[in-house]
A and B are shown apart, each in its own frame.
Chain A
Amino acid sequence: MIEVSSLCKNYGDLAALSNVTFTVEKGQIVGFLGANGAGKSTTMDILCGCIGPDSGTAKISGFDITEQPIEAKKRLGYLPDVAPLHHEMIVEDFIRYVAELHKVPSHSIRVRVDATIEKLALGDVRKRLIGNLSKGYRQRVGLAQALVHDPEVLVLDEPTEGLDPTQIAEIRKLVRSLAGQHTILLSSHILSEVQNTCDKIVIINKGQIVKQGTYEQLAAAMETGHTYKLKVARNGANALTTLGRLGLQNLKAGSTDGDIEFAVSATTGDQILDDVAKAVVDGGFGLRGLALKTRSLEDVFLQLTK
């Protein structure tokens, strides 16, 4: 549905994108993850035909955005990082205007506008000036603008930026509900957002794709074994020395006394955990907890973009 292949873009001497390649399959939600300035917005602007690439191609539903921009844009809804709104218009008129711009047939404009207003719960504000709306509502009008012509592909650039937690939850729910009918590319620098909403993740850093795949794949690729957290009741320092004899990797004291972290390599296997537990119990340190420390996407992200 979205095919991006070897995109390059330079701003003067600065290489904003180099050789960016990824695809988004029909009905998927793909998270486009990167720090500020990593090249997310540039990629999306190219994908939506706002700026041209130096080389490489971007295709929307099989239509090249540079070769057949009109056909490609018909199938595309875009919410840029700053929602493109006319503040002097009322919500309903604005959505109708966008529908006309996108050449929605005149007989179905009314139906589409009403359906969009209902879907985004904008009924209460449909007669209000956009300039007078709160940020959350404006963001929803921005989404309505991207959705009114029922596009196959939706590109959302940091849709929850600057919203309060309730609004963030609403927008996420909404985006989730759009999956299936639309193919969605969603950018963010908030990791939990991507982890919760997306089927696949593409991580970009300094204009290059560093990793892509499902969250599980990404996490698995980063694993060099499992990290465990051990908690003992007393004599944390002694416990550490005792455990030192077992040949554990990355053995270190945690943040508070009695917390100990260690890693078990894949080759050693988890049987060694029995030895750890036995050592703690025999030493009289008092076993209070032994748990697998899961990797958050944050760890994966930090490691990849280091």
Chain B
Amino acid sequence: MSSIFAIARRDLKAYFASPRASAIFWFFLIFMGFFFNNFIGLFMQMTQQAPMMGGQAPTLEQLLKALFYNLHFILLLVVPAVTMASFSEEKRNHSIRLLQTSPCTPMEIVLGKFFAAASLMALVLVASAVYPLFTVTHGNPDKMVILTSYIGLLLLVCSQIAFGLWVSSMTSNQFMAFLFTMFGLFLLLILNWMATNLSGGGIMESVLKYLANSDHLDAFFKGTLSVGHTAYFLVFTAMFLFFTNVTLDSQRWR
């Protein structure tokens, strides 16, 4: 247990010792700001036009939902950047020997790396809360929806990190790790839309749709917390952490 903590703490410090952490914060917050600014403008315009056009004025919840949907796209670029170095970098500069020769099980190493990346992304999410909080101070959105949306985003990020770690554990090339993680995460996002074309309907379609993460995330953005959708993300995370463990263990035998 103590070594999980030691590895996680060192890795988290290493993110901040290099420009990587600040670049990630900047990238995430600036793009989220662009989206937020854009949506607020649209929101104001529609609110003003609604009485004249005779339609319903948009709600703040709709604004936030649109914002959180777009975060998924930013995460496609940010999460691979966080996880790409986890194992690749250590392999490249040979510091992986330190972990391999220490009395730690591969699972402790994987969990240490996972918690470091997850803490970094949790901090990014906390920082990003400034935008939803802006709507709270200037309006009256449903605070529970914001909370469940953030729980959903955290679960999503954890599953993405687990996938990224697995990819990173298989290569010593950071760029390849980045590319393949992004490719895989993108596939998970669009699988929902491609399901019909890929399967031609029937049971296969519902299986593919279940595998995609967008529907599961949707439930959190609507303000509901369900065991089923939470379990999807937890099982996904656990599964890829286990795969990473297997990859690390098997590399000794090549």
Q: Are B97 and A52 in contact (CB under 8 A)?
A: no
**Assembly CA distance A98 to B95 (angstroms):** 11
A74-B103, A100-B3 known; A86 vs B10 contact (CB < 8 Å) = yes
Q: Mark B6-26, 1 if CB is under 8 A from A, else 0.
A: 110010011001100000000
Query: B residues within 8 A CB of A48?
Result: 100-101
Q: Are A73 and B93 in contact (CB under 8 A)?
A: no
Q: Are B98 and A84 in contact (CB under 8 A)?
A: yes
A301 within 8 A of B: no
Q: Are B2 and A103 in contact (CB under 8 A)?
A: yes
Q: Are B102 and A73 in contact (CB under 8 A)?
A: yes
**Assembly CA distance A96 to B176 (angstroms):** 32
A80 within 8 A of B: yes
**Assembly CA distance A102 to B17 (angstroms):** 23
Q: Are B101 and A49 in contact (CB under 8 A)?
A: yes
Q: Are B100 and A101 in contact (CB under 8 A)?
A: no
B96 within 8 A of A: yes
Q: Mark A133-147, 1 if CB is under 8 A from B, else 0.
A: 000000000000100
Measured CB to CB, the nearest residue on chain B to A46 is B252
Question: What bracket does the count of chain A residues touching chain B fall in?
Answer: 20 to 34
A32 within 8 A of B: no
Tell me how far the C-beta of B12 lies from the nearest C-beta in chain A, rounded to whole angstroms.
12
**Assembly CA distance A87 to B104 (angstroms):** 22
Other-chain contact of B97, A78, A88, A89 (Cβ < 8 Å): A78
Other-chain contact of A101, B13, B18, B99, B253 (Cβ < 8 Å): B99
Query: A residues within 8 A CB of B13?
Result: 89
Chain A CB within 10 Å — which of B94, B95, B101 has the most? Answer: B101
Other-chain contact of A86, B2, B14, B103, B252 (Cβ < 8 Å): B14
Query: B residues within 8 A CB of A100?
Result: 2-3, 5-6
Q: Are B252 and A52 in contact (CB under 8 A)?
A: yes
Q: Are A82 and B94 in contact (CB under 8 A)?
A: yes
Other-chain contact of A84, B17, B95, B103, B105 (Cβ < 8 Å): B95
A221 within 8 A of B: no
Q: Are B98 and A103 in contact (CB under 8 A)?
A: no
Tell me how far the C-beta of A235 lies from the nearest C-beta in chain B, rounded to whole angstroms.
62
Measured CB to CB, the nearest residue on chain A to B112 is A101
Q: Are A87 and B103 in contact (CB under 8 A)?
A: no
Grouping DSSP codes into helix (H, G, I), strand (E, B) and loop, the A interface class, with mixed when no group exceeds half, is: loop
A87-B93, A100-B3 known; A145 vs B252 contact (CB < 8 Å) = no
A97 within 8 A of B: yes
Other-chain contact of B252, A50, A78, A80, A102 (Cβ < 8 Å): A50
Chain B CB within 10 Å — which of A50, A74, A85 has the most? Answer: A50
Tell me how far the C-beta of A64 lies from the nearest C-beta in chain B, rounded to whole angstroms.
14
A88-B17, A100-B3, A100-B6 known; A49 vs B98 contact (CB < 8 Å) = no
Tell me how far the C-beta of B103 lies from the nearest C-beta in chain A, rounded to whole angstroms.
4
Q: Are B97 and A49 in contact (CB under 8 A)?
A: no
Q: Are A51 and B252 in contact (CB under 8 A)?
A: yes
Tell me how far the C-beta of B26 lies from the nearest C-beta in chain A, rounded to whole angstroms.
19
Tell me how far the C-beta of A143 lies from the nearest C-beta in chain B, rounded to whole angstroms.
13
A76 within 8 A of B: yes
Query: B residues within 8 A CB of A82?
Result: 94, 97
Tell me how far the C-beta of B151 lies from the nearest C-beta in chain A, rounded to whole angstroms.
32
A237 within 8 A of B: no
A169 within 8 A of B: no
Other-chain contact of A103, B3, B97, B99, B253 (Cβ < 8 Å): B3
Q: Are B2 and A88 in contact (CB under 8 A)?
A: no
A73-B102, A74-B103, A103-B103 known; A84 vs B97 contact (CB < 8 Å) = yes
**Assembly CA distance A51 to B141 (angstroms):** 56
Q: Are A50 and B101 in contact (CB under 8 A)?
A: yes
A220 within 8 A of B: no
Q: Mark B97-134, 1 if CB is under 8 A from A, else 0.
A: 11111111100000000000000000000000000000
A70 within 8 A of B: yes
A80-B97, A101-B6, A101-B7 known; A88 vs B102 contact (CB < 8 Å) = no
Tell me how far the C-beta of B246 lies from the nearest C-beta in chain A, rounded to whole angstroms.
14
Give the A-binding residues of B (Cβ under 8 A). 2-3, 5-7, 10, 13-14, 17-18, 93-105, 252-254
22 contacts between A and B (CB under 8 A): A49-B100, A49-B252, A50-B97, A50-B100, A52-B252, A52-B253, A69-B103, A80-B94, A82-B97, A83-B94, A84-B96, A84-B98, A86-B14, A88-B14, A88-B17, A89-B10, A97-B6, A97-B10, A100-B2, A101-B3, A101-B7, A101-B102
